[in-house]
Protein backbone atom coordinates (compact mmCIF):
# COMPACT_ATOMS: atom_id res chain seq x y z
CA UNK A 1 0.00 0.00 0.00
CA UNK A 2 1.24 3.44 -0.91
CA UNK A 3 0.34 7.05 -0.18
CA UNK A 4 -1.47 8.33 -3.25
CA UNK A 5 -2.29 11.92 -2.48
CA UNK A 6 -2.56 14.59 0.14
CA UNK A 7 -4.94 17.52 0.51
CA UNK A 8 -4.92 20.41 2.99
CA UNK A 9 -7.91 22.34 4.32
CA UNK A 10 -8.00 25.74 6.04
CA UNK A 11 -11.10 25.89 8.22
CA UNK A 12 -12.51 29.04 9.72
CA UNK A 13 -15.60 29.75 11.82
CA UNK A 14 -16.69 33.17 13.11
CA UNK A 15 -17.30 33.77 16.81
CA UNK A 16 -20.50 35.43 18.06
CA UNK A 17 -18.48 37.10 20.82
CA UNK A 18 -14.76 37.77 20.21
CA UNK A 19 -12.53 36.57 23.04
CA UNK A 20 -8.96 37.16 24.02
CA UNK A 21 -5.91 36.23 26.07
CA UNK A 22 -2.84 38.22 27.01
CA UNK A 23 -1.41 38.39 23.48
CA UNK A 24 -4.42 38.56 21.20
CA UNK A 25 -8.18 38.78 20.69
CA UNK A 26 -9.86 36.69 18.00
CA UNK A 27 -13.19 36.98 16.21
CA UNK A 28 -13.00 33.58 14.49
CA UNK A 29 -11.60 30.11 15.10
CA UNK A 30 -9.30 28.49 12.57
CA UNK A 31 -7.80 25.05 12.06
CA UNK A 32 -5.60 23.45 9.36
CA UNK A 33 -6.28 19.83 8.42
CA UNK A 34 -4.60 17.34 6.14
CA UNK A 35 -6.30 14.41 4.43
CA UNK A 36 -4.03 11.65 3.15
CA UNK A 37 -5.40 8.97 0.84
CA UNK A 38 -3.75 5.66 -0.04
CA UNK A 39 -3.90 3.84 -3.37
CA UNK A 40 -6.38 1.47 -1.69
CA UNK A 41 -8.65 4.39 -0.84
CA UNK A 42 -7.95 4.46 2.91
CA UNK A 43 -8.14 7.99 4.31
CA UNK A 44 -6.24 9.41 7.28
CA UNK A 45 -6.77 12.80 8.89
CA UNK A 46 -4.24 14.99 10.63
CA UNK A 47 -4.20 18.47 12.15
CA UNK A 48 -1.51 21.13 12.41
CA UNK A 49 -1.19 22.64 8.96
CA UNK A 50 -2.89 25.95 9.66
CA UNK A 51 -1.66 29.06 7.83
CA UNK A 52 1.93 28.85 6.56
CA UNK A 53 2.25 25.21 7.70
CA UNK A 54 0.07 24.25 4.73
CA UNK A 55 2.75 25.47 2.34
CA UNK A 56 5.38 23.35 4.14
CA UNK A 57 3.07 20.34 3.85
CA UNK A 58 2.28 20.89 0.19
CA UNK A 59 5.59 22.17 -1.18
CA UNK A 60 8.20 20.36 0.93
CA UNK A 61 6.76 17.32 2.72
CA UNK A 62 4.13 15.95 0.31
CA UNK A 63 6.67 15.17 -2.44
CA UNK A 64 8.71 13.21 0.14
CA UNK A 65 5.89 10.94 1.27
CA UNK A 66 3.71 10.37 -1.80
CA UNK A 67 4.46 6.86 -3.08
CA UNK A 68 5.74 5.71 0.34
CA UNK A 69 4.25 3.02 2.61
CA UNK A 70 2.05 4.98 5.08
CA UNK A 71 2.65 2.46 7.89
CA UNK A 72 6.36 3.42 8.08
CA UNK A 73 5.57 6.28 10.44
CA UNK A 74 8.95 6.59 12.10
CA UNK A 75 10.90 6.37 8.85
CA UNK A 76 8.69 9.03 7.30
CA UNK A 77 8.92 11.19 10.43
CA UNK A 78 12.71 11.15 10.18
CA UNK A 79 12.57 11.84 6.47
CA UNK A 80 10.33 14.87 6.99
CA UNK A 81 12.35 16.10 9.96
CA UNK A 82 15.69 15.91 8.15
CA UNK A 83 14.28 17.67 5.10
CA UNK A 84 13.59 20.67 7.35
CA UNK A 85 16.33 20.39 9.96
CA UNK A 86 19.34 21.78 8.12
CA UNK A 87 17.43 24.92 7.21
CA UNK A 88 16.21 25.20 10.83
CA UNK A 89 12.64 24.76 9.60
CA UNK A 90 11.69 21.83 11.82
CA UNK A 91 10.69 24.39 14.46
CA UNK A 92 7.65 26.65 14.17
CA UNK A 93 5.40 25.99 11.19
CA UNK A 94 7.63 23.11 10.04
CA UNK A 95 7.06 21.20 13.28
CA UNK A 96 3.32 21.69 12.92
CA UNK A 97 3.43 20.50 9.31
CA UNK A 98 5.18 17.29 10.40
CA UNK A 99 2.56 16.93 13.15
CA UNK A 100 -0.33 17.02 10.70
CA UNK A 101 1.11 14.37 8.41
CA UNK A 102 2.32 12.13 11.23
CA UNK A 103 -1.12 12.00 12.85
CA UNK A 104 -2.75 11.17 9.50
CA UNK A 105 -0.27 8.31 9.01
CA UNK A 106 -1.15 6.83 12.41
CA UNK A 107 -4.85 7.13 11.50
CA UNK A 108 -4.24 5.26 8.24
CA UNK A 109 -2.09 2.59 9.90
CA UNK A 110 -4.78 1.92 12.49
CA UNK A 111 -7.41 1.64 9.80
CA UNK A 112 -5.26 -0.79 7.80
CA UNK A 113 -4.69 -2.99 10.85
CA UNK A 114 -8.16 -2.52 12.33
CA UNK A 115 -6.69 -1.22 15.59
CA UNK A 116 -7.11 2.01 17.55
CA UNK A 117 -3.96 4.13 17.82
CA UNK A 118 -3.59 3.40 21.54
CA UNK A 119 -3.17 -0.27 20.64
CA UNK A 120 -0.50 0.62 18.10
CA UNK A 121 1.26 2.44 20.96
CA UNK A 122 1.25 -0.64 23.17
CA UNK A 123 -2.23 -0.59 24.61
CA UNK A 124 -4.05 1.74 26.93
CA UNK A 125 -3.53 2.18 30.64
CA UNK A 126 -6.92 3.87 31.08
CA UNK A 127 -10.20 3.78 29.09
CA UNK A 128 -10.97 7.42 29.77
CA UNK A 129 -8.85 10.47 30.46
CA UNK A 130 -9.60 13.13 33.10
CA UNK A 131 -10.02 16.53 31.50
CA UNK A 132 -10.29 20.11 32.67
CA UNK A 133 -12.28 22.88 31.01
CA UNK A 134 -10.37 25.57 29.19
CA UNK A 135 -12.39 28.74 28.90
CA UNK A 136 -12.84 31.89 30.97
CA UNK A 137 -11.03 33.97 28.34
CA UNK A 138 -11.36 37.73 28.33
CA UNK A 139 -14.56 39.02 26.75
CA UNK A 140 -15.88 42.57 26.71
CA UNK A 141 -18.29 43.33 29.55
CA UNK A 142 -17.81 39.88 31.10
CA UNK A 143 -17.55 40.86 34.74
CA UNK A 144 -19.09 39.68 36.83
CA UNK A 145 -22.17 37.98 35.40
CA UNK A 146 -21.04 36.28 32.20
CA UNK A 147 -17.62 35.18 33.46
CA UNK A 148 -18.96 33.68 36.66
CA UNK A 149 -21.89 32.00 34.88
CA UNK A 150 -19.35 30.34 32.60
CA UNK A 151 -17.32 29.09 35.57
CA UNK A 152 -20.46 27.80 37.30
CA UNK A 153 -21.50 26.08 34.07
CA UNK A 154 -18.29 24.02 34.03
CA UNK A 155 -18.92 22.87 37.60
CA UNK A 156 -22.49 21.94 36.72
CA UNK A 157 -21.26 19.99 33.66
CA UNK A 158 -19.11 17.82 35.92
CA UNK A 159 -15.66 19.25 35.29
CA UNK A 160 -13.19 18.66 38.10
CA UNK A 161 -11.07 21.63 37.10
CA UNK A 162 -10.86 24.67 34.86
CA UNK A 163 -8.34 27.15 33.55
CA UNK A 164 -8.58 30.90 33.07
CA UNK A 165 -6.36 33.57 31.57
CA UNK A 166 -4.17 36.14 33.25
CA UNK A 167 -1.78 38.68 31.82
CA UNK A 168 -4.37 40.67 29.89
CA UNK A 169 -5.24 43.13 32.65
CA UNK A 170 -3.39 45.08 35.33
CA UNK A 171 -2.03 42.67 37.94
CA UNK A 172 -4.54 43.76 40.61
CA UNK A 173 -7.46 43.37 38.20
CA UNK A 174 -6.33 39.92 37.10
CA UNK A 175 -5.94 38.84 40.73
CA UNK A 176 -9.47 40.07 41.52
CA UNK A 177 -10.80 38.26 38.44
CA UNK A 178 -9.22 34.94 39.45
CA UNK A 179 -10.40 35.42 43.04
CA UNK A 180 -13.97 35.97 41.80
CA UNK A 181 -13.78 32.68 39.88
CA UNK A 182 -12.39 30.83 42.90
CA UNK A 183 -15.15 32.25 45.11
CA UNK A 184 -17.75 31.17 42.56
CA UNK A 185 -16.57 27.56 42.11
CA UNK A 186 -15.60 26.89 45.71
CA UNK A 187 -12.51 25.18 47.13
CA UNK A 188 -13.01 21.67 45.71
CA UNK A 189 -12.66 22.41 41.99
CA UNK A 190 -9.13 22.61 40.62
CA UNK A 191 -8.20 26.00 39.18
CA UNK A 192 -5.29 26.95 36.91
CA UNK A 193 -4.09 30.21 35.32
CA UNK A 194 -2.41 30.76 31.97
CA UNK A 195 -0.44 33.93 31.16
CA UNK A 196 0.51 32.99 27.58
CA UNK A 197 4.01 34.42 28.17
CA UNK A 198 2.74 37.79 29.39
CA UNK A 199 5.37 38.50 32.04
CA UNK A 200 9.03 38.94 32.74
CA UNK A 201 10.41 37.02 35.73
CA UNK A 202 9.80 39.65 38.41
CA UNK A 203 6.24 40.40 37.21
CA UNK A 204 5.42 36.70 37.03
CA UNK A 205 6.65 36.19 40.58
CA UNK A 206 4.75 39.26 41.74
CA UNK A 207 1.38 38.11 40.39
CA UNK A 208 2.11 34.51 41.39
CA UNK A 209 2.60 35.59 45.00
CA UNK A 210 -0.64 37.56 44.94
CA UNK A 211 -2.47 34.49 43.56
CA UNK A 212 -0.86 32.01 45.94
CA UNK A 213 -3.71 32.01 48.48
CA UNK A 214 -6.20 30.87 45.80
CA UNK A 215 -4.90 27.28 45.72
CA UNK A 216 -3.97 27.18 42.04
CA UNK A 217 -2.72 23.87 40.67
CA UNK A 218 -0.50 25.49 38.08
CA UNK A 219 0.67 28.76 36.55
CA UNK A 220 1.04 28.22 32.79
CA UNK A 221 3.53 29.98 30.51
CA UNK A 222 4.52 32.68 33.01
CA UNK A 223 7.38 33.97 30.82
CA UNK A 224 8.65 33.74 27.25
CA UNK A 225 8.33 30.18 25.97
CA UNK A 226 12.07 29.92 25.18
CA UNK A 227 13.33 31.46 28.44
CA UNK A 228 14.59 28.39 30.33
CA UNK A 229 16.34 30.38 33.06
CA UNK A 230 13.25 32.55 33.45
CA UNK A 231 11.16 29.41 34.01
CA UNK A 232 13.66 28.15 36.59
CA UNK A 233 13.60 31.47 38.49
CA UNK A 234 9.80 31.60 38.56
CA UNK A 235 9.58 27.93 39.50
CA UNK A 236 11.90 28.33 42.48
CA UNK A 237 9.97 31.36 43.77
CA UNK A 238 6.33 30.28 43.70
CA UNK A 239 4.32 27.61 45.53
CA UNK A 240 2.13 26.47 42.63
CA UNK A 241 3.40 24.19 39.84
CA UNK A 242 4.83 25.89 36.76
CA UNK A 243 3.64 24.56 33.40
CA UNK A 244 4.56 25.16 29.78
CA UNK A 245 5.63 23.71 26.46
CA UNK A 246 2.62 24.12 24.16
CA UNK A 247 4.67 26.10 21.64
CA UNK A 248 7.74 23.88 21.44
CA UNK A 249 8.43 21.60 18.50
CA UNK A 250 10.13 18.20 18.55
CA UNK A 251 12.07 16.52 21.35
CA UNK A 252 15.07 18.64 20.47
CA UNK A 253 13.35 21.84 21.57
CA UNK A 254 12.15 20.11 24.74
CA UNK A 255 15.50 18.58 25.60
CA UNK A 256 16.96 21.41 27.70
CA UNK A 257 13.63 22.28 29.33
CA UNK A 258 13.24 18.70 30.51
CA UNK A 259 16.84 17.98 31.47
CA UNK A 260 17.05 21.21 33.48
CA UNK A 261 13.59 20.57 34.93
CA UNK A 262 12.29 23.98 33.89
CA UNK A 263 8.70 22.71 34.17
CA UNK A 264 6.81 20.96 36.95
CA UNK A 265 4.20 20.09 34.32
CA UNK A 266 4.94 19.81 30.62
CA UNK A 267 2.18 20.48 28.09
CA UNK A 268 3.26 19.26 24.64
CA UNK A 269 0.73 19.97 21.91
CA UNK A 270 0.17 17.19 19.40
CA UNK A 271 -0.27 19.63 16.48
CA UNK A 272 2.99 21.40 17.30
CA UNK A 273 5.36 18.87 18.83
CA UNK A 274 5.51 16.55 15.82
CA UNK A 275 2.31 14.50 15.91
CA UNK A 276 1.60 11.29 17.74
CA UNK A 277 5.13 9.94 17.22
CA UNK A 278 6.87 12.87 18.87
CA UNK A 279 4.20 13.47 21.52
CA UNK A 280 4.88 9.97 22.74
CA UNK A 281 8.66 10.55 22.77
CA UNK A 282 8.46 13.80 24.72
CA UNK A 283 5.79 12.48 27.07
CA UNK A 284 7.65 9.31 27.99
CA UNK A 285 10.91 11.22 28.49
CA UNK A 286 9.17 13.68 30.81
CA UNK A 287 7.40 10.85 32.61
CA UNK A 288 10.73 9.13 33.20
CA UNK A 289 12.06 12.31 34.80
CA UNK A 290 9.07 12.74 37.10
CA UNK A 291 7.63 15.67 35.13
CA UNK A 292 3.86 15.43 34.82
CA UNK A 293 2.49 15.45 31.23
CA UNK A 294 -0.80 17.28 30.76
CA UNK A 295 -1.31 17.65 27.00
CA UNK A 296 -2.21 21.03 25.55
CA UNK A 297 -5.26 20.63 23.29
CA UNK A 298 -6.97 23.48 21.44
CA UNK A 299 -8.38 22.52 18.08
CA UNK A 300 -10.62 20.12 16.19
CA UNK A 301 -11.87 16.63 17.12
CA UNK A 302 -8.89 15.26 15.20
CA UNK A 303 -6.37 16.64 17.67
CA UNK A 304 -8.66 15.86 20.62
CA UNK A 305 -8.84 12.21 19.54
CA UNK A 306 -5.10 12.03 18.78
CA UNK A 307 -4.30 13.48 22.21
CA UNK A 308 -6.69 11.06 23.95
CA UNK A 309 -4.95 8.09 22.33
CA UNK A 310 -1.53 9.16 23.59
CA UNK A 311 -2.86 10.24 27.00
CA UNK A 312 -4.48 6.81 27.40
CA UNK A 313 -1.04 5.20 27.24
CA UNK A 314 0.88 7.41 29.70
CA UNK A 315 1.77 5.83 33.04
CA UNK A 316 0.94 7.74 36.22
CA UNK A 317 3.78 10.03 37.25
CA UNK A 318 5.26 8.69 39.45
CA UNK A 319 3.91 5.11 39.36
CA UNK A 320 0.98 4.89 41.74
CA UNK A 321 -1.58 2.23 42.57
CA UNK A 322 -4.27 4.82 43.05
CA UNK A 323 -3.35 7.74 40.80
CA UNK A 324 -5.26 10.95 41.31
CA UNK A 325 -5.93 13.46 38.54
CA UNK A 326 -3.77 16.59 38.95
CA UNK A 327 -1.50 14.66 41.34
CA UNK A 328 -0.06 11.61 39.55
CA UNK A 329 -2.60 11.12 36.77
CA UNK A 330 -2.39 12.91 33.43
CA UNK A 331 -5.16 15.43 32.84
CA UNK A 332 -5.94 16.71 29.37
CA UNK A 333 -7.10 20.14 28.31
CA UNK A 334 -10.64 20.24 26.89
CA UNK A 335 -11.37 23.53 25.19
CA UNK A 336 -14.91 24.71 25.88
CA UNK A 337 -14.81 28.06 24.13
CA UNK A 338 -17.21 28.37 21.18
CA UNK A 339 -16.00 26.56 18.05
CA UNK A 340 -18.19 25.42 15.16
CA UNK A 341 -15.16 23.53 13.85
CA UNK A 342 -14.87 21.46 17.01
CA UNK A 343 -18.62 20.90 17.20
CA UNK A 344 -19.45 20.22 13.52
CA UNK A 345 -16.80 18.08 11.85
CA UNK A 346 -17.25 15.06 14.11
CA UNK A 347 -20.38 15.68 16.17
CA UNK A 348 -21.32 13.50 19.13
CA UNK A 349 -17.81 12.05 19.32
CA UNK A 350 -16.81 13.09 22.83
CA UNK A 351 -18.96 12.86 25.92
CA UNK A 352 -17.94 14.09 29.33
CA UNK A 353 -18.66 11.54 32.07
CA UNK A 354 -17.55 12.17 35.65
CA UNK A 355 -15.06 14.74 34.43
CA UNK A 356 -13.47 12.32 31.93
CA UNK A 357 -13.55 11.73 28.18
CA UNK A 358 -13.77 8.19 26.81
CA UNK A 359 -10.92 7.23 24.51
CA UNK A 360 -12.31 6.38 21.04
CA UNK A 361 -12.07 2.62 20.38
CA UNK A 362 -12.51 2.45 16.59
CA UNK A 363 -9.60 1.86 14.19
CA UNK A 364 -7.07 4.68 13.83
CA UNK A 365 -8.21 7.87 15.51
CA UNK A 366 -11.58 6.19 16.03
CA UNK A 367 -13.63 9.16 14.90
CA UNK A 368 -15.71 9.83 11.79
CA UNK A 369 -14.77 13.06 10.05
CA UNK A 370 -17.67 14.65 8.18
CA UNK A 371 -15.91 15.79 5.03
CA UNK A 372 -18.93 17.78 3.92
CA UNK A 373 -18.66 19.83 7.11
CA UNK A 374 -14.90 20.18 6.60
CA UNK A 375 -15.45 21.53 3.09
CA UNK A 376 -18.25 23.87 4.13
CA UNK A 377 -16.00 25.41 6.84
CA UNK A 378 -13.03 25.65 4.47
CA UNK A 379 -11.93 28.87 2.91
**Minimum separation from the CB atom of position 203 to Mg ion (A):** 17
CB 240 within 8 A of CB 218: yes
Window 219 to 248, contacts with Mg ion (CB under 5 A): 220
Asked if residues 293 and 259 have their Cβ atoms less than 8 Å apart, the reply is no
d(CA 119, CA 115): 6
Distance CA 35, CA 45 (A): 5
Q: Name every residue whose Cβ is closer than 8 Å to that of residue 188 and which is 6 or more positions away in sequence.
A: none
Specify whether the CB–CB gap between 216 and 187 falls below 8 A: no
Binding span for Mg ion by CB under 5 A among 69-77, 199-207, 215-223, 362-370: 215-223
Provide, rounded to whole angstroms, the least separation between the CB of residue 83 and Mg ion. 29
CA Rg value for the chain: 20
Q: Which long-range contacts (CB under 8 A, 24 or more apart) does 278-282 make?
A: 278/77, 278/98, 278/99, 278/102, 278/250, 278/251, 279/306, 279/307, 279/310, 280/121, 280/310, 280/313, 281/251, 282/251, 282/254, 282/258
Site for Mg ion in 25-84 (CB under 5 A): none
Cβ 221 to Mg ion shortest distance, Å: 5
Which stretch, 23-31, 212-220, 231-239, 359-367, contacts Mg ion (CB under 5 A)? 212-220
Number of residues that bind Mg ion (CB under 5 A): 2
Nearest position to Mg ion, beta carbon? 194
Provide, rounded to whole angstroms, the least separation between the CB of residue 345 and Mg ion.
23
14 and 27 Cβ atoms separated by less than 8 Å: yes
Q: How far is the CB of 154 from Mg ion (least distance, A)?
A: 17
Determine, following the binding rule CB under 5 A, whether residue 333 of this chain makes contact with Mg ion. no
Q: Is 174 in the site for Mg ion (CB under 5 A)?
A: no
Residue closer to Mg ion, measured from CB, 230 or 315: 230
* Nearest-approach distance from CB 194 to Mg ion, in angstroms: 4
Is 82 an annotated catalytic residue? no
In the complex with Mg ion, the residue whose CB is nearer, 44 or 244, is: 244
| 189-223 burial code (b ≥16 CB/10 A, e <16) | bbbbbbbbbbbebebbbebbebbeebebbbbbbbb
194 counts as binding Mg ion under rule CB under 5 A: yes
Q: 23 or 378, CB closer to Mg ion?
A: 23
Q: Which of these segments, 42-50, 97-105, 173-181, 194-202, binds Mg ion (CB under 5 A)?
A: 194-202
Complex with Mg ion: residue 102 or 220, whichever CB lies closer: 220
Task: Spell out the alpha helix ranges (H) of 157-262.
Answer: 171-185, 201-211, 228-237, 250-259
Q: Which stretch binds Mg ion (CB under 5 A): 2-10, 34-42, 214-222, 226-234?
A: 214-222
Set 82, 213, 296, 309: catalytic member = 296
Answer positive or negative: Cα dihedral of 130, 352, 336, 340.
Answer: positive
Window of 54-62, 121-129, 149-157, 187-195 that interacts with Mg ion by CB under 5 A:
187-195
Among the listed residues 77, 29, 121, the one whose alpha carbon sits nearest the alpha carbon of residue 335: 29
Binding residues vs Mg ion (CB under 5 A)? 194, 220
Catalytic residues: 296
Amino acid sequence: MKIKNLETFQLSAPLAIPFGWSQDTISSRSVGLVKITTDDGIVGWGEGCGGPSAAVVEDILAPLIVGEDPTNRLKLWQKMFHSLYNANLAVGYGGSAISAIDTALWDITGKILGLPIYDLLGGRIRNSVPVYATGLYYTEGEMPTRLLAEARGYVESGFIGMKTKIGGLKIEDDVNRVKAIRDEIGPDIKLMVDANQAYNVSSAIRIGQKLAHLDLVWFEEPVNAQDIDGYLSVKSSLPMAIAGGENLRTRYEFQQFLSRRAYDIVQPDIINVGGISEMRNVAMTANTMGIQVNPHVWGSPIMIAASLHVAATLPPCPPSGNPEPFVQETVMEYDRTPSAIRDDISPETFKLTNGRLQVPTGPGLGITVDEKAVRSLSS
